[in-house]
């Protein structure tokens, strides 16, 4: 089976690696263009999928827009049997999705129809869900609305961070993808339509949404800290500058919302109900560090108020 692969971040790499390892012919990997990074944006950084593809000697395509006629002609010339899409970052149009003889399938990090959209992993933790998983679905013109080929569920662990859950789901997605492709290749797949009445959504995260509102409960804020760990990082304002917080845990206690009750080996901040305890922090322009390091540098102290 000739596979055209679409993907960009680390989450997509296990699926690409699994395809190669299982003997599928990956005719090309399509990913986003290299982006300028660094203080002066003078260095180009390639997406993780590009690095993985080149390591496997797979051709790499990096269109700025996968809707151009020239790109469609290139894909047509590759004669893929199927396209596999894993966190590519662009909405693909039917003209592209329908080019392969078997169409296109997607690896989505939720149990569809729950959490359709761009941020299913973070929003599963934010919502306090105890179970999530991976769905392999046939793609159509909608946003994660196509028929389901395969579902794999997994618990969300109580203290699991977004990064930890993402890594687990990436590996699960790779295995589920191979199972789905094997069924398709053997003609044994039976796609099931999604229940539209059960659909929920996981829209893209916003900067303001990542900010901690100390009027909320400690449980809710601990989930937010975990969901955004390691990136983009939940944050609050400390002494007039952004401070990201990591390793969140809710505990009993009380105080004026936002007030720092303890600053030592950990940071404890009063919430609307309860207290949020964090283990690591990241001041603006610096690397992630322990709370003790910030305290020793006189960057925070008991009695400060986080906004």
pLDDT value for 196: 96
pLDDT in the model for residue 37: 84
pLDDT confidence bin for 187, thresholds 50/70/90? confident
- Binned at pLDDT 50, 70 and 90, residue 117 comes out as very high
Residue (of 284, 276, 272) closest to 246 by Cα position: 276
Q: If you search the block for the tokens 């890594």, which residue do you land on?
A: 167
What is the reported pLDDT for 76?
A: 96
* Residue 215 confidence (pLDDT) above 80: yes
Cβ atoms within 10 A of the Cβ of 182, count?
Answer: 14
Note the pLDDT of residue 156: 98
Question: For every residue of the chain, which 3-state class applies, written as one string?
Answer: CEEEEEECCHHHHHHHHHHHHCCCEEEEEECCCCEEECCCCCEEECCHHHHHHHHCCCCEECCCCCCCHHHHHHHHHHCCCEEEEECCCCCCCHHHHCCCCCCEEEEECCCCCCCECCCHHHHHHHCCCCEEEEEEEECCCCCCCCCEEEEEEEECCCCCCHHHHHHHHHHHHHHHHHHHHHHHHCCCCCCECCCHHHCCECCCCCCCCCECCCCCEHHHHHHHHHHCCCCCCEEEEECCEEEEEECCEEECCCCCCCEEEEECCCEEEECCECEEEECEEEECCCCCEEHHHHHHCCCCCCCCECC
CA distance from start to end of the chain = 55
- pLDDT per residue over 13-52, tens digit each? 999 999 999 999 999 999 999 998 877 777 899 999 999 9
CB 268 within 8 A of CB 257: no
pLDDT digits (tens, 9 = 90+) for 132-173: 999 999 999 999 999 999 999 999 999 999 999 999 999 999
Nearest residue to 276 (alpha-carbon basis) of 300, 253, 244: 253
Mean pLDDT of the chain, nearest integer: 96
Q: What CATH class is the domain 2-198?
A: alpha beta
d(CA 148, CA 135): 7
Rounded Cα distance between 201 and 180, Å, is 24
Residue 1: which pLDDT band, with cuts at 50, 70 and 90? very high
- CA angle, corner 47, sides to 41 and 48, nearest 5? 135
Range of lowest pLDDT (37-46, 93-102, 210-219): 37-46
Question: If pLDDT is split at 50, 70 and 90, which confidence band does 102 have?
Answer: very high
Do the first three CATH levels of 2-198 and 218-296 match, i.e. the same topology?
Answer: no
If one compares 19 and 207, the residue with the highest pLDDT of the two is: 19
230 upstream amide cis, omega within 30 of 0: yes
Whether 132 and 165 have beta carbons less than 8 Å apart is answered as: yes
Write down the pTM of the prediction.
0.94
Average pLDDT of span 166-194: 94
Q: Where are the domains of the chain?
A: 2-198, 218-296
- Cα–Cα distance between 262 and 72 in angstroms, integer? 59
- What was the pLDDT predicted at 59? 98
pLDDT at residue 64 above 80?
Answer: yes
pLDDT at 185: 85
Class of domain 218-296 as given by CATH: alpha beta
Spatial contact of 29 and 49, defined as CB atoms under 8 Å apart:
yes
């Amino acid at each position: 089976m000739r596979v055209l692969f679409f993907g960009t971040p680390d989450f997509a790499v296990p699926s690409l690696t699994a395809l190669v390892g299982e003997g599928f012919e990956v005719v090309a990997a399509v990913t986003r263009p290299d982006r300028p990074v660094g203080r002066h944006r003078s260095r180009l950084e390639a997406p993780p999928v590009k690095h993985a593809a080149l390591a496997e000697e797979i051709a790499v395509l990096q269109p700025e827009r996968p809707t151009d006629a020239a790109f469609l002609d290139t894909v047509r010339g590759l004669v893929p049997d199927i396209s596999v899409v894993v966190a590519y970052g662009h909405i693909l149009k039917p003209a592209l999705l329908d080019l392969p003889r078997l169409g296109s399938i997607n690896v989505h990090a939720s149990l569809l129809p729950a959490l359709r959209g761009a941020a299913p992993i973070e929003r599963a933790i934010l919502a306090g869900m105890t179970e999530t998983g991976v769905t392999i679905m046939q793609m159509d013109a909608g946003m994660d609305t196509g028929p389901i080929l395969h579902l794999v569920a997994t618990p969300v662990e109580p203290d699991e961070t977004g990064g930890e859950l993402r890594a687990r789901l990436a590996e699960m997605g790779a295995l589920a993808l191979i199972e789905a492709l094997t069924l398709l290749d053997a003609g044994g797949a039976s796609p099931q339509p999604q229940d539209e009445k059960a659909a929920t959504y996981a829209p893209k995260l916003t900067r303001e949404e990542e900010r901690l509102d100390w009027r909320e409960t400690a449980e809710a804020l601990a989930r937010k800290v975990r969901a955004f760990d390691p990136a983009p990082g939940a944050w609050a304002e400390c002494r007039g500058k952004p401070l990201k917080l990591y390793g969140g845990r809710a505990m009993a206690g009380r105080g004026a919302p936002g007030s720092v009750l303890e600053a030592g080996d950990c940071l404890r901040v009063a919430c609307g109900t309860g207290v949020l305890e964090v283990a690591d922090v990241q001041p603006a322009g610096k690397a992630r560090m322990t709370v003790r390091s910030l305290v020793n540098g006189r960057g925070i102290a008991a009695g400060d108020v986080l906004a």
